[in-house]
């Protein structure tokens, strides 16, 4: 049992219960430790000039810190919740320790579930893996994947507006003019321009596997922040007709024809350039042949006397 001295001017000494040890703090003795079979005698000692006039040590033990007291008492008493300065047992710490012990005991009873469905591997001395045969009463059961995990991550509202302001430049660092959208494609949402709509449609064509139909709900125009379908680009609902397909085919044919004419012109220019390079080369080869013939004619006839020698 622990007690402390009362009041700023007096301290209570329990001499009738002869203390085993006196607990000391920063201002002097702050508490006594008793056994349960000692006598009770009260004595009041006046407090003079901030110091005790008389200190009694019945057993001759004096402790300056909590570790010294813990070493003296050993395991006979739990001092984890004891405050050395005030000499009191802190009830808040006692309640926390009890709750911790109760929580630990409850956790030890409950077992942790094993969520691993993979077959184990034999732990033998062999360097090769030896699989384990799984025997079950329901061989047709299969693990089904959770459909919620396969859902795409949610996208931010009006995320297509981040693509606005992006421009493409050719090899000559000149701005490439963007294509013109058909009149049937109209943007939806605040600040949706033709450039933003074009970027949104191009992104949907490359990243989405769903058909692009636009915003089918009519309430999008009233409050796009609530009724907007994030899986579709920021455009009103549209319908592709046979006339649109025919116009697009004609446009593709015109572009292909212009490309063919450009390739033919480039090929003809290349052939003419090669022909111009071959003419000076043939002339140079003819001049070299004439020089060789003249050298052969100027060679003197061999002297028969020199050949005889």
Query: Residue 33: its pLDDT value, please?
Result: 45
Confidence of residue 131 (pLDDT cuts 50, 70, 90): confident
Mean pLDDT of the chain: 69
Task: Answer for the pair 58, 18: CB distance below 8 angstroms, yes or no.
Answer: yes
Q: What percent of the chain has pLDDT over 70?
A: 52
Please determine, for residue 145, whether its predicted confidence score (pLDDT) is greater than 70. no
Query: Strand, coil or helix: what is 65?
Result: coil
Residue 89 DSSP code? E
Task: Answer for the pair 158, 189: CB distance below 8 angstroms, yes or no.
Answer: yes
The DSSP-derived string for 119-162 is PPB---S-SS--B-----S-TT--PPPPTTTTSPPP--TTGGGG
Confidence of residue 90 (pLDDT cuts 50, 70, 90): confident
Task: Answer for the pair 84, 66: CB distance below 8 angstroms, yes or no.
Answer: yes
- Tell me the C-alpha distance between 148 and 10, whole Å: 73
Question: Using one digit for the tens of pLDDT, what is the confidence trace for 19-36?
Answer: 444 544 444 444 444 444
- Tell me the C-alpha distance between 133 and 251, whole Å: 64
Please determine, for residue 44, whether its predicted confidence score (pLDDT) is greater than 90. no
- Tell me the C-alpha distance between 85 and 69, whole Å: 13
Question: Using one digit for the tens of pLDDT, what is the confidence trace for 75-86?
Answer: 777 777 777 777
- Tell me the C-alpha distance between 184 and 194, whole Å: 12
Please determine, for residue 198, whether its predicted confidence score (pLDDT) is greater than 50. yes
Instruction: Look up residue 66 and give its two tokens.
Output: 């909590």
Buried b vs exposed e over 243-276: b needs ≥16 C-beta within 10 Å?
eeeeeeeeeeeeeeeeeeeeeeeeeeeeeeeeee
CA distances from 42 to 12, 17, 39, 85, 177 (A): 7, 9, 10, 22, 103
Query: Residue 164: its pLDDT value, please?
Result: 76
Query: Residue 249: its pLDDT value, please?
Result: 93
Phi, psi of 41 (to 5 degrees): -135, 125
- Tell me the C-alpha distance between 257 and 277, whole Å: 31
Instruction: Look up residue 173 and give its two tokens.
Output: 């660092």
Answer with the residue of higher pLDDT: 196 or 92. 196
Query: Residue 115: its pLDDT value, please?
Result: 66
Question: Using one digit for the tens of pLDDT, what is the confidence trace for 267-304?
Answer: 999 999 888 887 665 565 656 656 555 555 555 565 55
Please determine, for residue 171, whether its predicted confidence score (pLDDT) is greater than 70. yes
Residue 109 makes CB contacts below 8 A (sequence gap 6+) with none
Please determine, for residue 9, whether its predicted confidence score (pLDDT) is greater than 50. no
Q: Which of 177, 216, 218, 174 is nearest to 198 (CA)?
A: 177
Question: Using one digit for the tens of pLDDT, what is the confidence trace for 113-122?
Answer: 666 667 666 6
- Tell me the C-alpha distance between 136 and 133, whole Å: 10
Largest CA distance in the chain: 162
- Tell me the C-alpha distance between 20 and 10, whole Å: 21
Question: Using one digit for the tens of pLDDT, what is the confidence trace for 208-263?
Answer: 778 888 888 878 878 887 788 878 888 888 888 888 889 889 999 999 999 999 99
Query: Residue 307: its pLDDT value, please?
Result: 53
């Amino acid at each position: 049992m622990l007690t402390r001295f009362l009041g700023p001017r007096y301290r209570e000494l329990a001499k009738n219960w002869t203390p085993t040890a006196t607990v000391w703090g920063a201002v002097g003795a702050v508490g006594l430790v008793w056994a349960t079979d000692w006598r009770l005698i009260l004595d009041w000692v006046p407090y003079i000039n901030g110091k005790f006039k008389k200190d009694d040590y019945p057993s001759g033990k004096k402790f300056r810190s909590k570790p010294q007291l813990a070493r003296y008492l050993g395991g006979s008493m739990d001092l984890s919740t004891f405050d050395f300065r005030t000499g009191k047992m802190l009830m808040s710490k006692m309640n926390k320790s009890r709750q911790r012990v109760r929580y630990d005991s409850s956790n030890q009873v409950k077992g942790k579930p094993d969520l691993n469905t993979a077959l184990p591997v034999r732990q033998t001395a062999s360097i090769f893996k030896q699989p384990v045969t799984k025997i079950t009463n329901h061989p047709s059961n299969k693990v089904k994947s959770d459909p919620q995990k396969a859902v795409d991550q949610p996208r931010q509202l009006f995320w297509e507006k981040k693509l606005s302001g992006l421009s493409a430049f050719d090899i000559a660092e000149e701005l490439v003019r963007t294509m013109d959208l058909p009149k049937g494609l109209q943007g939806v949402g605040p600040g949706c321009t033709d450039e933003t709509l074009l970027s949104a449609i191009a992104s949907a064509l490359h990243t989405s596997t769903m058909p692009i139909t636009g915003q089918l709900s009519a309430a999008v125009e009233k409050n796009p922040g609530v009724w907007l379908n994030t899986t579709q680009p920021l455009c009103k609902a549209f319908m592709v007709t046979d006339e649109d397909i025919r116009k697009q085919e004609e446009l593709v044919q015109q572009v292909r024809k212009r490309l063919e004419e450009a390739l033919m012109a480039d090929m003809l220019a290349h052939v003419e350039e090669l022909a111009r390079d071959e003419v000076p080369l043939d002339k140079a080869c003819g001049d070299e042949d004439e020089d060789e013939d003249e050298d052969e004619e100027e060679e003197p006839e061999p002297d028969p006397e020199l050949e005889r020698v």
